């Protein structure tokens, strides 16, 4: 009887063993989007216009009811906003969503997915200047 159960048990597990799980897209590190001289990396240039995954921390928002936030590589209790693209650090990323951003505590790691855009852009509502951003983004 034990042999029969072992035999049937092997077939019950077989579909799970033979069906590969979908590969998880590894998040891209913020630092991998830039070269040391602050130009965009070959990786960033090759991914421009594509949906990518980046993880990090949500910086405190610039204003309430915003449709964007800044993703940082480490928790920041204060806003890392810059006055010009020349001052743009290589460890932050603007994340634009379709809906109003639900603020997540600054010390909770999140995963974002969106379409990568490169180049200077000034947000018309806030004046926030970004060099790199995710648009049509989601986060969790």
Residue range 23-139, CATH number: 2.40.50.870
Which of the pair, 113 or 84, is modelled with greater confidence?
A: 113
**132 Ramachandran zone, left/alpha/beta (phi>0; psi -120 to 50):** beta
CB 40 within 8 A of CB 83: no
Q: What is the pLDDT of residue 139?
A: 92
pLDDT-derived band at 8, boundaries 50, 70, 90: very low
How much is the average pLDDT of 33-39?
88
Three-class secondary structure of residue 68 per DSSP: strand
Q: What is the pLDDT of residue 124?
A: 86
pLDDT-derived band at 59, boundaries 50, 70, 90: confident
Which of the pair, 91 or 107, is modelled with greater confidence?
A: 107
Q: pTM for the full model? A: 0.74
Q: What is the pLDDT of residues 73-82, one digit of tens each?
A: 888 766 555 4
Token pair 């049937």 in the structure block, residue: 8
Radius of gyration for the alpha carbons in the chain, expressed in angstroms and rounded: 21
Q: Where are the domains of the chain?
A: 23-139
Which of the pair, 4 or 58, is modelled with greater confidence?
A: 58
């Amino acid at each position: 009887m034990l042999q029969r159960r072992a035999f049937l048990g092997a077939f019950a597990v077989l579909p799970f063993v033979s069906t590969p799980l979908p590969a998880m897209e590894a998040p891209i590190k913020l630092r991998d989007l830039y070269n040391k001289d602050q130009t965009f990396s070959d990786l960033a240039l090759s991914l421009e216009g594509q949906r990518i995954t980046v993880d990090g921390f949500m910086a405190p928002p610039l204003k309430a009811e915003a449709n964007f936030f800044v993703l940082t590589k480490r928790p920041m209790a204060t806003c890392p906003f810059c006055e010009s693209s020349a001052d743009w650090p290589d460890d932050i990323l603007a994340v634009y969503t379709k809906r109003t951003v639900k603020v997540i505590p600054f010390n909770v790691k999140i995963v974002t997915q969106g379409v990568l855009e490169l180049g200077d852009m000034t947000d018309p509502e806030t004046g926030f200047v970004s060099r790199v951003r995710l648009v049509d983004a989601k986060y969790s």
